[in-house]
Amino acid sequence: MNKLRSNFEKGSTRWAVRRSQWIAMGIAEEDFEKPKIAIINSSSGLSVCYQHLGKYARIAQEAVREAGGLPFEVYTIAPSDFITSAGKKARYLMPSRDLLVNDIEVMVEGAELDGMILLSSCDKTTPAHLMAAARLNIPAIVVACGYQLGGNCNGRQVDIEEVYKGVGTVLTGKMSLDEMEEWTRCAIKGPGVCAGLATANSMHCMAEALGMAMAGSTPIRADSEALKKVVLKAGKKIMELVNNNIRPRDIITKESIQNAIRVAVSIGCSVNTVRHLTAIAIEAGLHLDVIKMFEEEAVGFSQITRIRPNGPDRIEQFDSAGGTLGVLHRLRNKLNLDVHTVNNRVLADVLSEPVEIDEVYIRPVNHPFRKEPGLTIIRGNLAPNGAIVKLSAIDADRRIFEGPAKVYNDEDLAMQALANGEISSGDIVVLRMLGPVGGPGTVFACSFMAALSGAGLADTVAVVTDGELSGLNKGITIGQVMPEAALGGPLAIVEENDQVKIDLNERKIDLLIEEALLNQRLDNWKPVERTLENNWLKFYADNVMPLEKGAVFGKREGY
Protein backbone atom coordinates (compact mmCIF):
# COMPACT_ATOMS: atom_id res chain seq x y z
CA MET A 1 0.00 0.00 0.00
CA ASN A 2 1.10 3.57 -0.78
CA LYS A 3 2.31 5.41 2.34
CA LEU A 4 -0.48 7.74 3.38
CA ARG A 5 0.27 11.40 3.99
CA SER A 6 -2.79 11.56 6.24
CA ASN A 7 -1.30 9.27 8.88
CA PHE A 8 0.37 11.76 11.19
CA GLU A 9 3.19 10.95 13.58
CA LYS A 10 1.84 9.63 16.86
CA GLY A 11 2.35 12.06 19.69
CA SER A 12 2.40 15.11 17.40
CA THR A 13 0.00 18.01 17.86
CA ARG A 14 -1.71 17.28 14.53
CA TRP A 15 -2.22 13.65 15.53
CA ALA A 16 -3.59 14.50 18.97
CA VAL A 17 -6.08 17.22 18.07
CA ARG A 18 -7.43 15.40 15.02
CA ARG A 19 -7.79 12.18 17.01
CA SER A 20 -9.78 14.04 19.67
CA GLN A 21 -12.11 15.55 17.08
CA TRP A 22 -12.74 12.30 15.29
CA ILE A 23 -13.43 10.34 18.47
CA ALA A 24 -15.97 13.02 19.39
CA MET A 25 -17.55 12.56 15.95
CA GLY A 26 -18.03 8.85 16.58
CA ILE A 27 -15.38 7.60 14.14
CA ALA A 28 -13.99 4.21 15.18
CA GLU A 29 -10.35 4.35 16.24
CA GLU A 30 -9.51 1.35 14.06
CA ASP A 31 -10.43 3.48 11.02
CA PHE A 32 -7.94 6.25 11.76
CA GLU A 33 -5.10 4.69 9.73
CA LYS A 34 -7.22 3.99 6.62
CA PRO A 35 -6.97 6.06 3.40
CA LYS A 36 -8.98 9.22 3.94
CA ILE A 37 -11.13 10.13 0.94
CA ALA A 38 -12.86 13.46 0.38
CA ILE A 39 -16.30 13.20 -1.20
CA ILE A 40 -16.44 16.67 -2.75
CA ASN A 41 -20.08 17.69 -2.76
CA SER A 42 -20.25 20.99 -4.64
CA SER A 43 -23.92 21.31 -3.87
CA SER A 44 -26.51 23.94 -3.14
CA GLY A 45 -30.18 24.17 -2.33
CA LEU A 46 -30.44 27.08 -4.76
CA SER A 47 -30.41 25.03 -7.96
CA VAL A 48 -32.06 21.92 -9.37
CA CYS A 49 -28.65 20.98 -10.81
CA TYR A 50 -27.59 19.83 -7.34
CA GLN A 51 -30.85 18.59 -5.88
CA HIS A 52 -29.80 14.93 -5.93
CA LEU A 53 -26.13 15.17 -4.97
CA GLY A 54 -26.60 14.60 -1.23
CA LYS A 55 -27.96 11.13 -1.88
CA TYR A 56 -25.03 10.20 -4.11
CA ALA A 57 -22.54 11.62 -1.62
CA ARG A 58 -23.93 9.16 0.93
CA ILE A 59 -23.69 6.31 -1.59
CA ALA A 60 -20.08 7.27 -2.35
CA GLN A 61 -19.20 7.30 1.34
CA GLU A 62 -20.63 3.83 1.85
CA ALA A 63 -18.76 2.52 -1.20
CA VAL A 64 -15.48 3.94 0.12
CA ARG A 65 -16.08 2.35 3.54
CA GLU A 66 -16.78 -1.03 1.95
CA ALA A 67 -13.55 -0.72 -0.05
CA GLY A 68 -11.52 -0.09 3.11
CA GLY A 69 -11.35 3.71 3.20
CA LEU A 70 -12.49 6.44 5.55
CA PRO A 71 -14.73 8.91 3.67
CA PHE A 72 -15.43 12.54 4.55
CA GLU A 73 -18.09 14.57 2.81
CA VAL A 74 -16.69 18.01 2.00
CA TYR A 75 -19.04 20.81 0.98
CA THR A 76 -17.94 23.61 -1.33
CA ILE A 77 -19.53 26.49 -3.21
CA ALA A 78 -21.87 25.39 -5.99
CA PRO A 79 -22.34 27.94 -8.78
CA SER A 80 -25.25 27.44 -11.15
CA ASP A 81 -25.23 29.31 -14.45
CA PHE A 82 -28.96 29.98 -14.41
CA ILE A 83 -29.06 30.98 -10.73
CA THR A 84 -25.68 32.57 -9.96
CA SER A 85 -26.06 34.63 -13.16
CA ALA A 86 -28.74 36.83 -11.58
CA GLY A 87 -26.36 39.16 -9.73
CA LYS A 88 -24.14 41.79 -11.37
CA LYS A 89 -24.98 40.67 -14.93
CA ALA A 90 -23.60 37.17 -14.30
CA ARG A 91 -20.14 38.51 -13.48
CA TYR A 92 -19.78 35.97 -10.69
CA LEU A 93 -19.96 32.95 -13.01
CA MET A 94 -16.42 32.63 -14.37
CA PRO A 95 -14.82 33.77 -11.10
CA SER A 96 -16.84 31.08 -9.32
CA ARG A 97 -14.89 28.39 -11.17
CA ASP A 98 -11.58 29.51 -9.71
CA LEU A 99 -13.10 30.21 -6.30
CA LEU A 100 -14.26 26.59 -6.28
CA VAL A 101 -10.76 25.36 -7.18
CA ASN A 102 -9.33 27.24 -4.23
CA ASP A 103 -12.19 26.14 -1.98
CA ILE A 104 -11.29 22.50 -2.66
CA GLU A 105 -7.59 23.20 -2.16
CA VAL A 106 -8.20 24.77 1.25
CA MET A 107 -10.44 21.95 2.47
CA VAL A 108 -8.49 18.97 1.11
CA GLU A 109 -4.92 20.21 1.35
CA GLY A 110 -5.57 21.80 4.71
CA ALA A 111 -6.73 18.44 6.06
CA GLU A 112 -4.11 16.47 4.07
CA LEU A 113 -6.55 13.87 2.78
CA ASP A 114 -5.44 11.05 0.49
CA GLY A 115 -7.87 11.10 -2.41
CA MET A 116 -11.04 12.67 -3.82
CA ILE A 117 -14.29 11.67 -5.46
CA LEU A 118 -15.61 14.87 -7.04
CA LEU A 119 -19.38 15.00 -7.62
CA SER A 120 -19.72 17.32 -10.61
CA SER A 121 -22.87 18.93 -11.90
CA CYS A 122 -23.41 22.43 -13.34
CA ASP A 123 -21.15 24.20 -15.83
CA LYS A 124 -18.34 25.48 -13.62
CA THR A 125 -18.09 22.51 -11.25
CA THR A 126 -16.58 19.97 -13.65
CA PRO A 127 -13.74 22.19 -14.93
CA ALA A 128 -13.11 23.40 -11.37
CA HIS A 129 -12.97 19.81 -10.12
CA LEU A 130 -10.56 18.83 -12.88
CA MET A 131 -8.42 21.90 -12.19
CA ALA A 132 -8.36 21.14 -8.47
CA ALA A 133 -7.44 17.51 -9.12
CA ALA A 134 -4.60 18.60 -11.39
CA ARG A 135 -3.36 21.21 -8.90
CA LEU A 136 -3.51 19.03 -5.77
CA ASN A 137 -2.33 15.95 -7.68
CA ILE A 138 -3.73 13.40 -5.26
CA PRO A 139 -5.72 10.39 -6.57
CA ALA A 140 -9.07 11.67 -7.81
CA ILE A 141 -12.11 10.59 -9.80
CA VAL A 142 -14.68 12.94 -11.33
CA VAL A 143 -18.24 11.64 -11.23
CA ALA A 144 -20.56 13.49 -13.60
CA CYS A 145 -23.90 13.60 -11.83
CA GLY A 146 -26.06 13.76 -14.87
CA TYR A 147 -28.55 15.63 -17.02
CA GLN A 148 -32.17 16.61 -16.47
CA LEU A 149 -35.04 15.94 -18.85
CA GLY A 150 -37.54 18.39 -20.29
CA GLY A 151 -41.29 18.02 -20.33
CA ASN A 152 -44.33 18.24 -22.57
CA CYS A 153 -46.22 21.52 -22.79
CA ASN A 154 -49.46 21.41 -24.74
CA GLY A 155 -48.07 18.77 -27.09
CA ARG A 156 -44.67 20.43 -27.52
CA GLN A 157 -41.39 19.19 -26.01
CA VAL A 158 -40.02 22.00 -23.88
CA ASP A 159 -36.73 22.05 -22.00
CA ILE A 160 -34.53 24.77 -20.54
CA GLU A 161 -33.05 25.52 -23.98
CA GLU A 162 -36.53 26.35 -25.29
CA VAL A 163 -37.20 28.59 -22.29
CA TYR A 164 -33.84 30.26 -22.80
CA LYS A 165 -34.53 31.05 -26.44
CA GLY A 166 -38.14 31.95 -25.69
CA VAL A 167 -37.13 35.16 -23.90
CA GLY A 168 -36.31 36.71 -27.26
CA THR A 169 -39.59 35.46 -28.70
CA VAL A 170 -41.50 37.23 -25.92
CA LEU A 171 -39.28 40.30 -26.24
CA THR A 172 -40.27 40.71 -29.90
CA GLY A 173 -43.94 40.03 -29.26
CA LYS A 174 -44.03 36.67 -31.03
CA MET A 175 -45.08 34.79 -27.91
CA SER A 176 -47.18 35.83 -24.94
CA LEU A 177 -45.83 36.09 -21.41
CA ASP A 178 -48.57 33.66 -20.29
CA GLU A 179 -47.26 31.04 -22.71
CA MET A 180 -43.73 31.55 -21.43
CA GLU A 181 -44.98 31.10 -17.86
CA GLU A 182 -46.53 27.79 -18.89
CA TRP A 183 -43.25 26.68 -20.48
CA THR A 184 -41.43 27.35 -17.20
CA ARG A 185 -43.80 24.92 -15.49
CA CYS A 186 -42.91 22.14 -17.95
CA ALA A 187 -39.25 22.73 -18.84
CA ILE A 188 -37.46 20.73 -16.13
CA LYS A 189 -38.50 17.30 -14.93
CA GLY A 190 -36.11 16.21 -12.22
CA PRO A 191 -32.60 17.14 -11.09
CA GLY A 192 -29.44 17.50 -13.13
CA VAL A 193 -27.82 19.82 -15.65
CA CYS A 194 -29.33 21.36 -18.77
CA ALA A 195 -30.39 18.97 -21.47
CA GLY A 196 -28.35 19.24 -24.66
CA LEU A 197 -24.64 19.50 -25.35
CA ALA A 198 -24.22 22.75 -23.45
CA THR A 199 -21.22 23.46 -21.24
CA ALA A 200 -22.19 21.14 -18.38
CA ASN A 201 -22.69 18.01 -20.48
CA SER A 202 -19.74 19.00 -22.68
CA MET A 203 -17.43 19.14 -19.66
CA HIS A 204 -18.85 15.88 -18.32
CA CYS A 205 -17.82 14.32 -21.64
CA MET A 206 -14.43 16.03 -21.45
CA ALA A 207 -13.81 14.48 -18.01
CA GLU A 208 -14.25 11.01 -19.50
CA ALA A 209 -12.27 11.85 -22.64
CA LEU A 210 -9.39 13.01 -20.42
CA GLY A 211 -9.52 9.73 -18.53
CA MET A 212 -10.60 11.38 -15.27
CA ALA A 213 -14.15 9.94 -15.22
CA MET A 214 -15.15 6.27 -15.27
CA ALA A 215 -15.50 4.71 -18.71
CA GLY A 216 -19.08 4.80 -19.96
CA SER A 217 -20.24 7.32 -17.37
CA THR A 218 -20.99 10.35 -19.57
CA PRO A 219 -23.46 11.68 -20.37
CA ILE A 220 -25.73 10.06 -17.80
CA ARG A 221 -29.26 10.61 -16.58
CA ALA A 222 -29.33 12.32 -13.20
CA ASP A 223 -30.84 10.41 -10.29
CA SER A 224 -30.76 7.13 -12.22
CA GLU A 225 -29.78 3.58 -11.38
CA ALA A 226 -26.93 3.95 -13.87
CA LEU A 227 -25.55 6.89 -11.89
CA LYS A 228 -25.77 4.90 -8.66
CA LYS A 229 -23.68 2.13 -10.23
CA VAL A 230 -21.04 4.64 -11.37
CA VAL A 231 -20.79 6.13 -7.87
CA LEU A 232 -20.47 2.68 -6.28
CA LYS A 233 -17.76 1.75 -8.77
CA ALA A 234 -15.93 5.04 -8.16
CA GLY A 235 -15.91 4.33 -4.42
CA LYS A 236 -14.00 1.11 -5.02
CA LYS A 237 -11.79 2.47 -7.79
CA ILE A 238 -10.53 5.47 -5.79
CA MET A 239 -9.05 3.02 -3.29
CA GLU A 240 -7.14 1.30 -6.12
CA LEU A 241 -5.78 4.64 -7.25
CA VAL A 242 -4.68 5.57 -3.74
CA ASN A 243 -3.09 2.18 -3.10
CA ASN A 244 -1.24 2.31 -6.43
CA ASN A 245 -0.43 6.03 -6.14
CA ILE A 246 -2.01 6.87 -9.51
CA ARG A 247 -2.42 10.63 -9.60
CA PRO A 248 -4.17 13.13 -11.90
CA ARG A 249 -0.92 14.29 -13.47
CA ASP A 250 -0.30 10.68 -14.54
CA ILE A 251 -3.62 10.94 -16.42
CA ILE A 252 -3.86 14.58 -17.51
CA THR A 253 -1.04 14.82 -20.03
CA LYS A 254 -0.46 16.43 -23.40
CA GLU A 255 -1.72 13.23 -25.02
CA SER A 256 -4.93 13.05 -22.99
CA ILE A 257 -5.61 16.76 -23.58
CA GLN A 258 -5.19 16.02 -27.27
CA ASN A 259 -7.69 13.15 -26.99
CA ALA A 260 -10.20 15.42 -25.27
CA ILE A 261 -9.83 18.07 -27.97
CA ARG A 262 -10.42 15.45 -30.66
CA VAL A 263 -13.62 14.36 -28.94
CA ALA A 264 -14.72 17.99 -28.49
CA VAL A 265 -14.31 18.92 -32.17
CA SER A 266 -15.92 15.65 -33.30
CA ILE A 267 -19.13 16.05 -31.31
CA GLY A 268 -19.43 19.85 -31.30
CA CYS A 269 -18.91 20.60 -27.62
CA SER A 270 -19.51 23.98 -26.03
CA VAL A 271 -17.11 26.79 -26.97
CA ASN A 272 -16.30 27.03 -23.27
CA THR A 273 -14.41 23.72 -23.39
CA VAL A 274 -11.51 25.66 -24.94
CA ARG A 275 -10.94 27.94 -21.96
CA HIS A 276 -11.60 25.14 -19.47
CA LEU A 277 -9.20 22.65 -21.08
CA THR A 278 -6.62 25.45 -21.21
CA ALA A 279 -7.07 26.04 -17.48
CA ILE A 280 -6.89 22.32 -16.69
CA ALA A 281 -3.63 21.99 -18.63
CA ILE A 282 -2.14 24.96 -16.76
CA GLU A 283 -3.14 23.53 -13.37
CA ALA A 284 -1.53 20.23 -14.41
CA GLY A 285 1.74 22.04 -15.02
CA LEU A 286 1.61 21.45 -18.77
CA HIS A 287 3.12 24.10 -21.02
CA LEU A 288 0.70 23.73 -23.90
CA ASP A 289 -0.91 26.12 -26.35
CA VAL A 290 -4.34 24.50 -26.11
CA ILE A 291 -5.88 27.09 -28.43
CA LYS A 292 -3.33 26.22 -31.11
CA MET A 293 -4.04 22.53 -30.50
CA PHE A 294 -7.75 23.13 -31.12
CA GLU A 295 -6.85 25.03 -34.27
CA GLU A 296 -4.69 22.17 -35.56
CA GLU A 297 -7.07 19.37 -34.59
CA ALA A 298 -9.95 21.04 -36.39
CA VAL A 299 -8.27 20.26 -39.73
CA GLY A 300 -8.54 16.48 -39.62
CA PHE A 301 -11.87 15.86 -37.88
CA SER A 302 -15.53 15.82 -38.84
CA GLN A 303 -18.73 16.03 -36.83
CA ILE A 304 -20.06 12.57 -35.97
CA THR A 305 -22.95 13.63 -33.70
CA ARG A 306 -25.63 16.30 -33.90
CA ILE A 307 -26.84 16.75 -30.36
CA ARG A 308 -28.89 19.83 -29.55
CA PRO A 309 -28.20 22.69 -30.08
CA ASN A 310 -26.10 21.32 -32.98
CA GLY A 311 -28.99 19.38 -34.45
CA PRO A 312 -32.22 17.54 -33.63
CA ASP A 313 -30.85 14.77 -31.38
CA ARG A 314 -31.34 14.88 -27.63
CA ILE A 315 -28.74 14.24 -24.94
CA GLU A 316 -30.60 11.16 -23.70
CA GLN A 317 -30.42 9.72 -27.23
CA PHE A 318 -26.67 10.33 -27.29
CA ASP A 319 -26.43 8.63 -23.90
CA SER A 320 -28.34 5.52 -25.02
CA ALA A 321 -26.42 5.44 -28.33
CA GLY A 322 -23.08 4.91 -26.59
CA GLY A 323 -22.19 8.36 -25.24
CA THR A 324 -18.58 9.46 -24.84
CA LEU A 325 -17.35 5.87 -24.73
CA GLY A 326 -19.03 5.26 -28.09
CA VAL A 327 -17.31 8.33 -29.52
CA LEU A 328 -13.93 7.16 -28.18
CA HIS A 329 -14.51 3.83 -29.94
CA ARG A 330 -15.36 5.65 -33.18
CA LEU A 331 -12.19 7.77 -32.90
CA ARG A 332 -10.00 4.91 -31.71
CA ASN A 333 -7.58 5.07 -34.65
CA LYS A 334 -7.12 8.82 -34.09
CA LEU A 335 -6.45 8.72 -30.34
CA ASN A 336 -3.44 8.29 -28.09
CA LEU A 337 -4.24 4.86 -26.65
CA ASP A 338 -1.44 4.48 -24.11
CA VAL A 339 -2.76 7.21 -21.79
CA HIS A 340 -3.70 6.28 -18.22
CA THR A 341 -7.28 6.53 -16.95
CA VAL A 342 -9.02 6.42 -13.57
CA ASN A 343 -10.23 2.96 -14.57
CA ASN A 344 -6.71 1.88 -13.54
CA ARG A 345 -6.17 0.81 -17.15
CA VAL A 346 -4.77 2.52 -20.21
CA LEU A 347 -7.23 3.71 -22.83
CA ALA A 348 -6.34 0.88 -25.22
CA ASP A 349 -7.49 -1.65 -22.61
CA VAL A 350 -10.67 0.32 -21.92
CA LEU A 351 -11.50 0.32 -25.64
CA SER A 352 -10.71 -3.37 -26.02
CA GLU A 353 -14.14 -4.11 -24.54
CA PRO A 354 -16.95 -3.82 -27.08
CA VAL A 355 -19.71 -1.24 -26.71
CA GLU A 356 -23.00 -1.07 -28.56
CA ILE A 357 -23.13 2.09 -30.69
CA ASP A 358 -26.26 3.35 -32.42
CA GLU A 359 -25.18 4.75 -35.79
CA VAL A 360 -28.32 6.87 -35.96
CA TYR A 361 -26.79 9.18 -33.36
CA ILE A 362 -23.04 8.45 -33.44
CA ARG A 363 -21.73 8.08 -36.98
CA PRO A 364 -18.50 6.34 -38.04
CA VAL A 365 -15.70 8.76 -38.87
CA ASN A 366 -15.89 7.85 -42.56
CA HIS A 367 -19.60 8.70 -42.66
CA PRO A 368 -19.97 11.89 -40.56
CA PHE A 369 -22.98 14.15 -40.32
CA ARG A 370 -20.81 17.06 -41.46
CA LYS A 371 -17.37 16.96 -43.04
CA GLU A 372 -16.00 19.60 -40.72
CA PRO A 373 -15.29 19.84 -37.00
CA GLY A 374 -17.90 21.00 -34.53
CA LEU A 375 -15.51 23.57 -33.01
CA THR A 376 -12.75 25.61 -34.56
CA ILE A 377 -10.47 28.60 -33.93
CA ILE A 378 -10.42 31.61 -36.24
CA ARG A 379 -7.99 34.52 -36.33
CA GLY A 380 -7.56 37.86 -38.06
CA ASN A 381 -6.87 41.47 -37.24
CA LEU A 382 -9.91 41.51 -34.93
CA ALA A 383 -8.78 38.39 -33.05
CA PRO A 384 -5.00 38.07 -33.43
CA ASN A 385 -4.79 35.57 -30.56
CA GLY A 386 -7.81 33.64 -31.76
CA ALA A 387 -11.56 33.39 -31.28
CA ILE A 388 -13.82 30.37 -31.02
CA VAL A 389 -16.61 29.31 -33.34
CA LYS A 390 -19.05 26.47 -32.87
CA LEU A 391 -19.39 25.49 -36.53
CA SER A 392 -21.89 22.78 -35.64
CA ALA A 393 -24.40 25.47 -34.62
CA ILE A 394 -24.09 27.45 -37.88
CA ASP A 395 -25.81 26.54 -41.14
CA ALA A 396 -23.44 25.49 -43.91
CA ASP A 397 -24.61 28.35 -46.19
CA ARG A 398 -23.68 31.02 -43.60
CA ARG A 399 -19.90 30.73 -43.80
CA ILE A 400 -19.13 34.21 -45.16
CA PHE A 401 -20.72 37.15 -43.41
CA GLU A 402 -19.98 40.84 -43.86
CA GLY A 403 -21.81 43.76 -42.36
CA PRO A 404 -21.79 46.95 -40.30
CA ALA A 405 -20.82 46.78 -36.63
CA LYS A 406 -23.36 47.63 -33.96
CA VAL A 407 -21.22 48.21 -30.88
CA TYR A 408 -22.33 47.73 -27.27
CA ASN A 409 -20.26 47.78 -24.08
CA ASP A 410 -23.21 46.47 -22.08
CA GLU A 411 -25.46 43.51 -22.89
CA ASP A 412 -28.53 45.33 -21.54
CA LEU A 413 -28.07 48.04 -24.17
CA ALA A 414 -27.93 45.38 -26.88
CA MET A 415 -31.07 43.72 -25.51
CA GLN A 416 -32.88 47.07 -25.53
CA ALA A 417 -31.73 47.76 -29.08
CA LEU A 418 -33.08 44.36 -30.12
CA ALA A 419 -36.43 45.08 -28.48
CA ASN A 420 -36.57 48.48 -30.22
CA GLY A 421 -35.93 46.96 -33.64
CA GLU A 422 -32.54 48.67 -33.97
CA ILE A 423 -30.75 45.43 -34.88
CA SER A 424 -31.50 44.09 -38.33
CA SER A 425 -30.51 41.23 -40.60
CA GLY A 426 -26.98 41.73 -41.89
CA ASP A 427 -25.71 43.50 -38.78
CA ILE A 428 -22.68 42.35 -36.80
CA VAL A 429 -23.25 42.98 -33.11
CA VAL A 430 -20.05 43.63 -31.15
CA LEU A 431 -20.46 42.91 -27.43
CA ARG A 432 -17.27 43.98 -25.68
CA MET A 433 -15.73 44.86 -22.31
CA LEU A 434 -17.38 41.67 -21.09
CA GLY A 435 -14.26 39.52 -20.60
CA PRO A 436 -12.66 38.47 -17.30
CA VAL A 437 -10.89 41.81 -16.77
CA GLY A 438 -13.48 43.97 -18.49
CA GLY A 439 -16.49 42.66 -16.61
CA PRO A 440 -14.85 42.31 -14.17
CA GLY A 441 -15.76 38.66 -14.19
CA THR A 442 -16.91 37.42 -17.58
CA VAL A 443 -20.37 38.71 -18.48
CA PHE A 444 -22.96 36.20 -19.67
CA ALA A 445 -23.26 37.46 -23.26
CA CYS A 446 -25.19 34.34 -24.19
CA SER A 447 -28.46 35.85 -22.92
CA PHE A 448 -28.38 38.21 -25.90
CA MET A 449 -27.67 35.31 -28.24
CA ALA A 450 -30.65 33.40 -26.88
CA ALA A 451 -32.86 36.47 -27.28
CA LEU A 452 -31.58 36.92 -30.84
CA SER A 453 -32.51 33.31 -31.58
CA GLY A 454 -35.95 33.77 -30.10
CA ALA A 455 -36.40 36.87 -32.25
CA GLY A 456 -35.66 34.81 -35.36
CA LEU A 457 -32.43 36.68 -36.16
CA ALA A 458 -29.77 34.17 -35.07
CA ASP A 459 -29.14 33.07 -38.66
CA THR A 460 -28.93 36.57 -40.12
CA VAL A 461 -27.18 38.60 -37.41
CA ALA A 462 -23.63 37.78 -36.31
CA VAL A 463 -22.35 38.32 -32.78
CA VAL A 464 -18.71 38.95 -31.92
CA THR A 465 -17.86 39.06 -28.23
CA ASP A 466 -15.21 38.69 -25.54
CA GLY A 467 -17.95 37.72 -23.07
CA GLU A 468 -19.03 34.27 -21.97
CA LEU A 469 -21.25 32.16 -24.19
CA SER A 470 -23.37 29.15 -23.41
CA GLY A 471 -23.18 25.77 -25.04
CA LEU A 472 -26.89 26.26 -25.70
CA ASN A 473 -26.21 29.17 -28.04
CA LYS A 474 -26.53 28.68 -31.77
CA GLY A 475 -26.14 30.98 -34.72
CA ILE A 476 -23.28 33.04 -36.15
CA THR A 477 -21.42 33.60 -32.91
CA ILE A 478 -17.73 34.41 -32.58
CA GLY A 479 -16.81 33.98 -28.92
CA GLN A 480 -13.86 34.44 -26.58
CA VAL A 481 -12.23 37.02 -28.83
CA MET A 482 -8.60 37.33 -27.76
CA PRO A 483 -7.16 39.57 -26.47
CA GLU A 484 -10.26 40.88 -24.72
CA ALA A 485 -11.20 44.53 -25.22
CA ALA A 486 -10.30 45.56 -21.65
CA LEU A 487 -6.71 44.50 -22.29
CA GLY A 488 -6.47 46.58 -25.46
CA GLY A 489 -7.44 43.91 -27.95
CA PRO A 490 -8.62 45.15 -31.38
CA LEU A 491 -12.24 44.57 -30.34
CA ALA A 492 -11.82 47.69 -28.18
CA ILE A 493 -11.30 50.02 -31.16
CA VAL A 494 -14.23 48.92 -33.35
CA GLU A 495 -16.51 51.88 -34.07
CA GLU A 496 -20.20 51.99 -34.96
CA ASN A 497 -20.83 51.00 -38.60
CA ASP A 498 -17.27 49.80 -39.22
CA GLN A 499 -17.40 46.92 -41.69
CA VAL A 500 -16.50 43.51 -40.28
CA LYS A 501 -15.97 40.38 -42.35
CA ILE A 502 -16.26 36.84 -41.04
CA ASP A 503 -15.03 34.09 -43.36
CA LEU A 504 -15.43 30.70 -41.70
CA ASN A 505 -14.14 28.90 -44.79
CA GLU A 506 -10.83 30.69 -44.37
CA ARG A 507 -11.13 30.75 -40.55
CA LYS A 508 -10.77 34.55 -40.52
CA ILE A 509 -12.36 37.57 -38.85
CA ASP A 510 -11.24 41.04 -39.89
CA LEU A 511 -12.08 44.67 -39.30
CA LEU A 512 -12.17 46.15 -42.81
CA ILE A 513 -10.15 49.31 -42.28
CA GLU A 514 -6.69 50.31 -43.41
CA GLU A 515 -3.86 48.84 -41.35
CA ALA A 516 -2.53 52.31 -40.61
CA LEU A 517 -5.89 53.40 -39.19
CA LEU A 518 -6.16 50.19 -37.17
CA ASN A 519 -2.72 50.77 -35.64
CA GLN A 520 -3.51 54.44 -35.00
CA ARG A 521 -6.66 53.51 -33.08
CA LEU A 522 -4.80 50.88 -31.08
CA ASP A 523 -2.03 53.36 -30.24
CA ASN A 524 -4.58 55.93 -29.07
CA TRP A 525 -6.65 53.49 -27.00
CA LYS A 526 -6.58 53.87 -23.24
CA PRO A 527 -8.22 51.67 -20.62
CA VAL A 528 -11.47 52.98 -19.21
CA GLU A 529 -10.92 54.41 -15.75
CA ARG A 530 -13.15 52.81 -13.17
CA THR A 531 -13.44 52.37 -9.45
CA LEU A 532 -14.29 48.84 -8.40
CA GLU A 533 -15.89 47.80 -5.15
CA ASN A 534 -13.55 46.08 -2.72
CA ASN A 535 -15.02 42.62 -3.28
CA TRP A 536 -14.37 39.25 -4.90
CA LEU A 537 -14.82 40.65 -8.41
CA LYS A 538 -12.10 43.27 -7.84
CA PHE A 539 -9.74 40.56 -6.57
CA TYR A 540 -10.57 38.55 -9.69
CA ALA A 541 -10.01 41.49 -12.06
CA ASP A 542 -6.66 42.26 -10.45
CA ASN A 543 -5.39 38.68 -10.62
CA VAL A 544 -7.02 36.91 -13.56
CA MET A 545 -4.87 35.88 -16.51
CA PRO A 546 -5.99 36.53 -20.12
CA LEU A 547 -8.48 34.25 -21.83
CA GLU A 548 -5.55 32.80 -23.78
CA LYS A 549 -4.30 31.42 -20.46
CA GLY A 550 -7.63 29.92 -19.50
CA ALA A 551 -8.55 32.88 -17.24
CA VAL A 552 -6.74 31.25 -14.30
CA PHE A 553 -5.05 33.28 -11.59
CA GLY A 554 -1.52 34.53 -12.17
CA LYS A 555 0.58 37.52 -13.14
CA ARG A 556 -0.45 39.26 -16.35
CA GLU A 557 2.52 40.22 -18.47
CA GLY A 558 2.65 42.28 -21.63
CA TYR A 559 -0.60 44.18 -21.01
Dihedral sign for Cα atoms in the order 82, 88, 89, 93:
negative
pLDDT band at 172 (very low <50, low <70, confident <90, very high): confident
pTM over 0.85: yes
* pLDDT tens figures, 90-111: 899 999 999 999 999 999 999 9
**How far is the C-alpha of 187 from the C-alpha of 183, rounded, in Å?**
6
Q: What is the pLDDT of residue 559?
A: 58
pLDDT at 471 over 60: no
Catalytic-role residue among 42, 96, 392, 470: 470
**How far is the C-alpha of 149 from the C-alpha of 316, rounded, in Å?**
8
Domains of the chain: 34-149+190-350 (3.40.50.2300), 378-549 (3.50.30.80)
Average pLDDT of 418-436? Answer: 94
Average pLDDT of 374-387? Answer: 96
470 is catalytic: yes
Rounded to the nearest 10°, the torsion over CA 46, 122, 346, 65 is 0
Average pLDDT of 247-260? Answer: 98
User: Smallest Cα–Cα separation from 343: which of 361, 328, 365, 321?
Assistant: 328
Q: Give the residue with greater pLDDT, 169 vs 314.
A: 314
Put the strands of the sheet holding 140-144 in their side by side order: 70-76, 36-42, 115-120, 140-144
pLDDT averaged over every residue in the chain: 94
pLDDT at 548 over 80: yes
Rounded to the nearest 10°, the torsion over CA 389, 469, 531, 540 is -90
